[in-house]
Structure 1
Amino acid sequence: MSTSQHAAPANAGAAAPSRPDPSTWGARNAHDPTAVRDDDGVYWLFSTDADADGRLRAAGAQVRRSTDLVTWEYVGCALEGVPAPAREHAGAEGLWAPDVVRVETPAGVEWRMYYSASSFGSRTSAIGLAVAPHPRGPWADRGIVVATEHDRDGHNAIDAQLVIDGARHHMVYGSFFGGLHILEIDPATGFALDAPAPGAPASSPGTLIARRPKSVDTAIEGPYIVPRPGGGWALIVSYDSLVNTYHVRVAVAEDLYGPYVDHEGREMTDLDADPLVTGLTVLASHRLEGAERGILAPGHAAVLTEPGRQLLVHHTRFAETPRQHEVQVRRLVWTHGGWPLVSVQTWAGTRERDDESTWPADVSGLAGEWEIVDWSLPTEAVQDSRRITVGHDALSGLVAHGRGRFTRDGDAPVDAVVFPAWDAVRGRETLAFAAIGPKGTVLAGTKVG
């Protein structure tokens, strides 16, 4: 496909004879999600207006809440429909991919939501801003921050994320078409610094930081940038078709505005590099032993950062029911070399252990039987996991850096993180790992014996 695909889940197919009431959805129908935590410890999830069983029943950015990031309660929409300026510009029926951020202002705490308004296959799009005193609302629209037109602009004004770097604010955005861009935001107003007038849309697209060639339908979207431990930035993006081949890749940069490069040094803006290998794949379609469902096309990820942990929040489809989608949460870990990797196990709430000082520090504890997936394999199919036995010989040369970090140099380099996890299939606590191997390949797995 050669266009942004957010509209597909919002109006997917004819209405079923009996459609589930939204109050029963839980995690279902959460598409392009982002999560925040309020000052009382309650989590709020914001996502695209979507109903996999038929046409939209409401619009305005779906909202859910949770106390554990495992069980979600649907509570309605943030706004009453598509705000007038965005609706008039883009003709959108619903809102896509909201990003919500807590901002300190001279007047106190303000929550800002950057939402997208567009339609399938069109670059006539808008990123709007709404504000509230609390994630539960009430939300008030402030207008359009970035706007594009299909016949005029090469880029697409959707999929926004606000990046806060000290006193400076920035917005990364984009989907398919002309790639991903970043521009500076006025912290006081929430609008672009280069806006020609207060409350007006940005006057330029900003700096290009990632794109893909037409040979792969320019399929890149859903950018999310997080700071790297020790300095620099990591870019998390989704590649390919959300219907069946969607998956998550990462790249890093010293400067927020790039250049972003993958593990092998390929720049994310290089149209001559091989588009099938550029970017480090960290999550894709897979099936674990004994799991009820195979994970299909996971992507459009955000990161929830809390004291002592970071979590990747994303949607996924399922091999058995590819039209259905829901939110999933996974632990995000950083290797000794500063690369973000993702657990193959979903987040288990209170069963998880966050104290990194207790994570494995002894190489000998890594020996045993592991169930693994290999993210370097093609993403066109749901990959079945496989088992490997790790003997003490295989651990030769590994250097322990503490807090679950292990590396090895030489002809078979390794940059790995080993951490506690909850095995959802077997219902027990175990170890999980994520590791970068030779030539920028990533393995992830669970210890099973």
Structure 2
Amino acid sequence: MTAPRTRLSHRLAAGMAATTLALTGCTAPSHSSGAIVDQVSDIKRVSVHDPSVVKANDTYYVFGSHRAWAKSTDLVNWETFSNNLSTDFKDILGDIWQAWPKQPANSDLTGNMWAPEVVWNETMGKWCMYMSVNGTNYKSVIVLLTADDIEGDWTYVGPVVYSGFRTDTMAATDVPQVLGSDTTPSRYLSPGDTEINAIDPCVTYDEDGTMWMTFGSWFGGLWMLKLDPATGLRDYSTTYNQVEDRSDPYYGVKIAGGHAVSGEGSYLLNTNGYWYLFVSYAALQQTGGYQVRLFRSKDITGPYLDEAGNSAIFTSSITENWLGGTGIRLMSSVQWSGNDSDAIEVAQGHNSAMVDDDGTAYIVYHTRFSSRGEEHEVRVRELLPTADGWLTAAPYEYTGVKAASAGYATSELSGDYELVVHKTATFFQGLQATAKSDGDNSGTQYKGVELPVSITLHANGTVSGERTGTWNVSEGSNQMTITLTSDDGETTYAGAFADLPRDKDLKQVMTFSAIGGNQSIWASKV
């Protein structure tokens, strides 16, 4: 297979595998709404945890934890496929498993292949897969496999970076080579310092063609180091100084997290004049609070900041950082007329992202649901650029309809909307027997979902309803701003309008999504 026309990148590690759905992808006749399928039930779904997206020729691929892979021709309908890793993984990865991650408490490789990232390496003329082979107590390794065809078969090449090493085990790694010492520095022995789990690789090229890999999970932070494009492995010619909360001789450049806070599944996307860093906070289970936070930088190595100027790097321990205000939360659990109350997305996370050939950006992630326990599926949303340089996720799943960048008539935009704010401290907590007040989502059967308020956008540029304010749209564009007044004061949001099919029934409605005050908002016309 030839090199991809569009190259993308990756995301995270699952602790529990849901059954992969054996589905056949096809393109259904166009719906009157403009969606690719006639009804929601026609969509061919797939379960791929931690989906890393890449495009080869005219086919999209996602690679995920536990040897789950799928492909699609339209980013809507997916089908699973298999390769030699699907069945022969114990032969292919057996040596590195025995040499490093395998331990008495974690002795089976089967559930320990996490969050692979697949990229095309032009120098090698190969597809490169970077996969976490996970062990107990952070004893993990990210390895490289290569293939001539993106669908395989795959050949093991070697290790890229290790974690969980100690003085008595360092000889089995490249750590002595990099550090020039046979003794493990104390910083690698503490998850509150620089002890990480070497998982969740994301590989990309910067503007100069330099190859980088981001990786890491929780506690010790997220890091990045240079790769050698000639081998696909670590670039041993590049060295890094030890600077607290900035760089480390073995792990490279620190980009996020640290000091025992949550954070995993780092993903970088270069578009719109910025490098965007996506990080998943909290725990991945249905009620674990899993969520995507967004930061950006002009430089691939950072610093990565949110809209309020908060750094993605933590310099002190913060309990439950996933309830705090660092990072823009792109989406949460929402119950409104546009979705099915039994299929509310919850614990959305470990995303990848891409910019397609036509310039449209997408976020690809896995989500669990309000009534389906730990089952999960892949979802795709369009990422809409804002006038002030952020990316905001569309309010509804991508089903073939994109936002019209040329804009819409004012008559299409004005009207009654449901509005939700993706508050950082709200997370899905399951059914609640009795509706409560004081921020406990009175009036819904679920605890921890966002409920809408009603607003009206008037043609004269004013906003009335449960929030008041003003709005405007740039002429000849879908770019918009809206200023809303609430009990917390006045906030101006920048975003974009998009006429999209709803998740519930594919009825096409006007929506907008925007970012302001370090928060994301969605609105859907009723």
TM-score tier by shorter-chain length is 0.7 to 0.9
| Structure 1 equivalent of residue 219 of structure 2 | 177
User: Which moves more between the two structures, 330-339 or 77-86?
Assistant: 77-86
Alpha-carbon offset, residue 140 of structure 1: 1.3
- Please list the CA deviations of residues 78-102 of structure 1 after superposition, one character each: whole Å capped at 9, or x if unmatched: 5121513431211243311111112
**Within 5 Å, which residues of 2 pair with 1:265-414?**
265-272=309-316, 275=321, 276-289=324-337, 290-291=339-340, 292-308=342-358, 309-349=360-400, 352-353=401-402, 356-357=405-406, 359-360=407-408, 365-381=412-428, 382-392=448-458, 393-394=462-463, 396=470, 398=472, 400=474, 402-407=476-481, 412-414=491-493
Is contact 1:288-1:294 (8 Å) kept? no
- What is the alpha-carbon distance in structure 2 between the residues aligned to residue 273 and residue 338 of structure 1? 30
Q: Alignment partner for residue 255 of structure 1, among 299, 306, 311? A: 299
State the Cα RMSD in Å: 2.7
- What is the alpha-carbon distance in structure 2 between the residues aligned to residue 65 and residue 179 of structure 1? 32
- What is the alpha-carbon distance in structure 2 between the residues aligned to residue 383 and residue 418 of structure 1? 23
Is contact 2:222-2:258 (8 Å) kept? no
Structure 2 gap segments, 5+ residues each: 1-11, 25-43, 103-108, 167-183, 189-194, 239-247, 429-447, 464-468, 485-489
Structure 1 gap segments, 5+ residues each: 13-19, 50-60, 197-201
| Structure 2 equivalent of residue 100 of structure 1 | 118
Alpha-carbon offset, residue 387 of structure 1: 4.3
| Structure 2 equivalent of residue 87 of structure 1 | 97
User: Which moves more between the two structures, 288-297 or 25-34?
Assistant: 25-34
1:31 and 2:31 are equivalent in the alignment: no
Q: TM-score scaled to structure 1, two decimals?
A: 0.83
Is contact 1:432-1:446 (8 Å) kept? yes
- Please list the CA deviations of residues 238-288 of structure 1 after superposition, one character each: whole Å capped at 9, or x if unmatched: 000111200011011121111111110011113359731111111123334
- What is the alpha-carbon distance in structure 2 between the residues aligned to residue 148 and residue 273 of structure 1? 21
Q: Residues 195 and 323 of structure 1: is their aligned pair in 2 closer, same or farther, counting only changes over 3 Å? A: farther
Q: What secondary structure does 1:287 align onto?
A: coil
1:444 and 2:522 are equivalent in the alignment: yes
Alpha-carbon offset, residue 170 of structure 1: 0.6
Q: What secondary structure does 2:96 align onto?
A: helix
Q: Residues 78 and 372 of structure 1: is their aligned pair in 2 closer, same or farther, counting only changes over 3 Å? A: farther
Q: What secondary structure does 1:23 align onto?
A: coil
Q: Residues 118 and 337 of structure 1: is their aligned pair in 2 closer, same or farther, counting only changes over 3 Å? A: same
Is contact 1:85-1:143 (8 Å) kept? no
Q: TM-score scaled to structure 2, two decimals?
A: 0.72
Q: What secondary structure does 1:81 align onto?
A: helix
Alpha-carbon offset, residue 237 of structure 1: 0.8
Q: Alignment partner for residue 8 of structure 1, among 1, 7, 15? A: 15
Report runs of 4+ in structure 1 exceeding 6 Å deviation: none
- What is the alpha-carbon distance in structure 1 between the residues aligned to residue 61 and residue 160 of structure 2? 23
Alpha-carbon offset, residue 21 of structure 1: 8.1
- Between Structure 1 and Structure 2, whose CA radius of gyration is higher? 2
| Structure 2 equivalent of residue 139 of structure 1 | 154
Alpha-carbon offset, residue 233 of structure 1: 1.0
- What is the alpha-carbon distance in structure 1 between the residues aligned to residue 480 and residue 252 of structure 2? 39
**Within 5 Å, which residues of 2 pair with 1:150-299?**
151=166, 153=188, 154-166=195-207, 167-194=209-236, 204-214=250-260, 218-229=261-272, 231-243=273-285, 244=287, 245-272=289-316, 275=321, 276-289=324-337, 290-291=339-340, 292-299=342-349
Alpha-carbon offset, residue 379 of structure 1: 3.0
- The percent identity for this pair of structures is 28
Q: Which amino acid aligns with 2:16?
A: P
Q: Residues 444 and 143 of structure 1: is their aligned pair in 2 closer, same or farther, counting only changes over 3 Å? A: same
